[in-house]
Amino acid sequence: MVGLTIKEIGTKLTQAGMLKTSVLCVYGSDTIPVDATPMRKINRCLAKVIFTLSAQKIINKVYIGEEELKGYCPGGQAWFGYKSFMPMLKYFLSTGSEDFRGGAAEFLIANPDLAEKQLKSIGKITSLGRYTIIQKCDEIDDQNLEAKAFICFGVSEQIRNLCSLAHFRPENAVNIQNLWGASCASFITYPAGMAENSPKNSIIIGPSDPTGNYWFPRNYLSIGIPFEIAKRMARDLDQSFITKRSEVAYPVNRTSFKS
């Protein structure tokens, strides 16, 4: 199984998780791919666009670029490395300020000082290129693409099994994390290695941002997988419990608990 293609890795991840949604990959490009849809045409929220791409069959690839940022969430622009975070963001994330958006506040962080420290702890966010492309793996035939990460969505059991598959081979048991940040950061920024101080070669489970709860399915999770880890998982699938003990991974008979 030497030299797996992006499409083959996506297929293996789909099989491993028994996913009903499409596996996505993210990469940078100097040009806009043919038939790619600007993300803003779907929604101003990048995270919502990414989930829509995975869950629906309408489109197969989307993009955002440094020259076409009008109409996007300012936070998403920053998390994708095309802009800096707004100086007043620390107030919006915490307890609010009358000098910013009429005092609007998300109460995600205890106070503005802590919010500022958390934002600084992320370090510099570097874009993947002039354009950031997110595409369904089963639509990719070009093997010259430098995929940075794969993004999957599923219910808890599916994501648990993908996490267990990721633990099949590494010596380090601490390679899966849930990090603070916007949903688009959980999906793309962290697993693609765009944030200076984010853990390297670590799977990111998310989203940890509750502000997307109104559109993100309540029983779903995301898993962002760096390229090298995804490739290893694809190679390990046939030797792992998912194939060797499928009745454990996806039981037919289950114990039920009454509340």
Residue at 259 is within a domain: no
The model's pTM: 0.94
Low-confidence ranges of the chain (pLDDT < 70): 1-2
Q: 183 and 212 in contact (C-beta within 8 Å)?
A: yes
Closest CA to 137 of 259, 15, 258: 15
Contact 128, 81 (CB under 8 A): yes
pLDDT one-digit tens code per residue, 165-194: 999 998 888 899 999 999 999 999 999 999
State the total domains in the chain. 1
Does 220 map to a domain? yes
Contact assessment for residue 204 and residue 193, using Cβ atoms and an 8 Å cutoff: no
Would you state the pLDDT for residue 142? 78
Q: Is the residue at 21 inside a domain?
A: yes
Sign of CA dihedral 101, 211, 182, 134: negative
237 close to 12: Cβ distance less than 8 angstroms: yes
Q: Tokens 């100086």 belong to which residue?
A: 87
Angstrom distances, CA of residue 205 to CA of 21, 86, 126, 197, 232: 16, 26, 21, 17, 18
* Structural domain contains residue 23: yes
Flag whether 234 is in a domain. yes
Pairing verdict, β 37-38 and 61-65: parallel
Does a structural domain hold residue 198?
A: yes
CA angle 48, 12, 248 (to 5 degrees): 100
Strand order across the beta sheet in which 61-65 lies: 37-38, 61-65, 131-136, 24-29, 149-155, 220-226, 203-206, 176-177
Q: What is the structure's pLDDT at 1?
A: 44
Q: Is residue 254 part of a domain?
A: no
Residue 171 CA to residue 40 CA, distance in Å, equals 42
**What's the domain range around 197?**
6-35+47-63+136-247
Question: Is the bond into 33 cis (omega within 30 degrees of 0)?
Answer: no
- Identity of the amino acid at 254: R
Structure tokens at 123: 């370090």
State residue 174's pLDDT score: 85
Q: Is residue 101 part of a domain?
A: no
**What is the reported pLDDT for 240?**
97
